[in-house]
Chain A
Amino acid sequence: MEPSEKSPEIIICRCEDITAAEVRKLITKGYRTPDEVKRFSRCGMGQCQGRTCRNLVLQEISAATGQEVKDIPMATFRPPTKPVKLGLFAKARAESAAEGGGDR
């Protein structure tokens, strides 16, 4: 396995504060898809939903396994794509109920 050139202390996921060393440890243990790295480390589950760290994770997996980045399956992307306040969803419900949309 070829380690990537980045130093182990470098932060891969800024939102969740996860280092290259942590990601590499998972890859060594056999968690070799972006989905697995995400689920087992939270890397990519932060505020930006992986926009910043997604490519860095792909590079780590590629460096360790020799797979080309384009051949690695992408992690599942879960909506909502922009963080929305709970109060706004509650308000939407209250408004549709007032219009006769019904609440159940």
Chain B
Amino acid sequence: MKTADIVIIGGGINGVSIAYNLAVRGCRRVVLLERKTLASGSTGRCGAGVRMQWGTEMNCRLARDSILRFERLNQELEYDGDIEFKQGGYLILAFHQRQWEQFQKNVALQNSLGIPSRLVSPAEARRIVPHLEVGDLIGGTFCPKDGHINPFKATQAYAEAAARLGVEIRKFTETVAIGKDAAGRVQRVTLADGEVIETPVVVNAAGPYSQLVGEMAGVALPVHSERHQILVTEPVAPKQGPMVMSFAHGLYCQQTPHGSFIMGIGDPHEPRGFDTGHSWQFLEDVASKVTTMMPALKEVRVVRQWSGLYNMTPDAQPILGEIPEVPGYFVAVGFSGHGFMLAPMTGVLLAEMILGLAPTMDVSMLNVGRFARGELIREPSVV
């Protein structure tokens, strides 16, 4: 029978980052199982925006340190391509007084952690994004270190580095069952073709399907999935440096280095589920909001629309760590719409937890027990 030291389920950005970080710490017999191809889940469907501008200390530190790693990821992973990291900044807009007050607190917190964000007036916002219609804008915040990455290339970079270090990456390989021993410890995984891999450690990095991979081990994860739609336009001449984001509208819009605009908007009426279809309604929603905010975009043509799933937790923060009832069963799930940008640190922290190494950062508050204890984390800055 085939055996492994660690089996990772899921070949999105988090699965490959965990695999690389285990291998680079000397772990040799790691197998990564991906049902379809790499980045075929949320990772390949996401906006791939990354920002340091968060409202809790933990999120600021996780995002800051992840971005510092993204900055030198091509070198660290000796990637023969380019992850296409464009650091054009994020301009986050405030349309209500209460939001503006929160933004002032956020910037003070961010600055205290070395994040170079600042408050901007409507006039300054317009200097940063000249086609912005300021209207009833009160102000905003801007951080030049934030930006956008090519999610396929970043996934490929981690996967190839992991493979070079000996990780076995199996695409088109679905996990269907997880077996435990008499003491309730992880013992093996079963694949769709009946093959069994014996392993003392399983990592659930199955993104929006994490609850199903939880059930395989008898673990009820407090997560659900929810569709989010997105569109991309034809490439046009560079006109927008930063990502423009408004929490009040649930809207984000950025221009990639390639010239196309990528934008999306939240739908508060979206039902829970695994639907990844797309709607006309979304096109109208996002187009009417974005062209009110930036009328120059009226002339830009949409070439594609699609959708992906957010894996949501009750406090919109991820769940990281071992499940106490099932020793050997680790999760990196519930990223609630911002799991791409945290992946470099997620990989480091999971590898440290699995190998029993001293943690680079204390994220014990992200364990699954917080929900039962009622210790939810209040992050004011999510879309």
Contact = CB atoms under 8 A, between A and B. Distances in A.
Interface in B152-172: 152-153, 156, 160, 171
Contacts of A100: none
Contacts of A92: 284
Nearest to A88: B287
Contact of B303 (A33, A35, A36, A83): A83
Given A40-B156, A83-B301, A85-B298, A93 B284 contact: yes
Residue among B286, B291, B306 with most chain A CB within 10 A: B291
A45 B304 contact: yes
Residue among B171, B233, B287, B299 with most chain A CB within 10 A: B287
Residue among A85, A86, A96 with most chain B CB within 10 A: A86
Contacts of A88: 287
A40 B160 CA distance: 13
Nearest to B269: A104
B262 to A, nearest CB: 12
B245 interface: no
A30 to B, nearest CB: 8
Interface in A78-102: 78-80, 83-90, 92-94, 96
A80 B287 contact: no
A90 B291 contact: yes
Contact of B299 (A33, A36, A87, A103): A87
A65 B39 CA distance: 23
B367 interface: no
Contacts of B303: 47, 49, 80, 83
A60 B306 CA distance: 27
Interface in B26-43: 37, 39-40
A47 B298 CA distance: 18
B249 to A, nearest CB: 12
B366 to A, nearest CB: 30
Given A93-B285, A93-B287, A86 B304 contact: no
A36 B301 contact: no
Contacts of B286: 89
B304 A78 contact: yes
Contacts of A80: 283, 302-305
Interface string A9-46: 00000000000000000000111010110011010010
Interface of B: 37, 39-40, 44, 152-153, 156, 160, 171, 233-234, 258, 269, 278, 283-288, 290-292, 297-306
Interface of A: 29-31, 33, 35-36, 39-40, 42, 45, 47, 49, 78-80, 83-90, 92-94, 96, 103-104
